[in-house]
Amino acid sequence: MRKIIFVTGNSHKVSEACDILSKAGITVEQNNCGYPELQDDSLEKIAGFGAQWAANELNSEVMVDDSGLFIDALGGFPGPYSAYVFDTLGNENILKLMEGVANRKAVFKCVIGYCKPGNEPRVFSGEVEGVIAQKIRGTGGFGYDPLIEVGGKTFGEMPDDEKNSLSHRYRALLNFAGWLQKSD
């Protein structure tokens, strides 16, 4: 099996990546060394920059994940600032921002950045469309999972295997794994 270092401090993302990529013969090892996060409105630029920096720093092939929740009625907010907004406001305050709002459409997007030392990064994206639920539902998942509803259920209400078969991260990792298998 091929091993790739996943540079992230988020053990939930690592667990999902392990589950999804193991089916493609890829093992994932977490490294929490961190990387300077480019301040940009593009998840692709942020993930590519992070992957290239981490690959050169660790002298190893690496992957990073930059994800965002883009809410239509809020002009795409929080978008690339989703982790900061979640840590600062939390799900309850996102719901307060959405009080009385009829358009609850949202897109959950994930971009996987991949790089080998000394190379240019590659990025692989995946997204899922849904709506912001009227209230927090479910205890599964992490982050915004209890807020984003897809097919009548929030990610927080779904068992891991269901979420990991349709999520934004699943789609990005599937694109990544497909490219890796063709590039070998």
Specify whether the backbone of 127 is left (phi greater than 0), alpha (psi in -120 to 50) or beta: beta
Q: d(Cα 63, Cα 142) in Å, to the nearest integer?
A: 20
Residue 80's SS3 state is coil
66 is catalytic: yes
Task: Find, among 94, 88, 42, the residue nearest to 73 by Cα.
Answer: 94
Which residue do the tokens 């002009």 mark?
75
Which residue do the tokens 């205890």 mark?
139
The runs of H, that is alpha helices, within 23-104 are: 43-58, 82-97
Task: Find, among 136, 171, 129, 172, the residue nearest to 150 by Cα.
Answer: 129
CA distances (Å), 21 to each of 10, 34, 42, 102, 181, in order?
16, 22, 25, 37, 11
- The one catalytic residue in 40, 65, 66, 161 is 66
Active site residues: 66
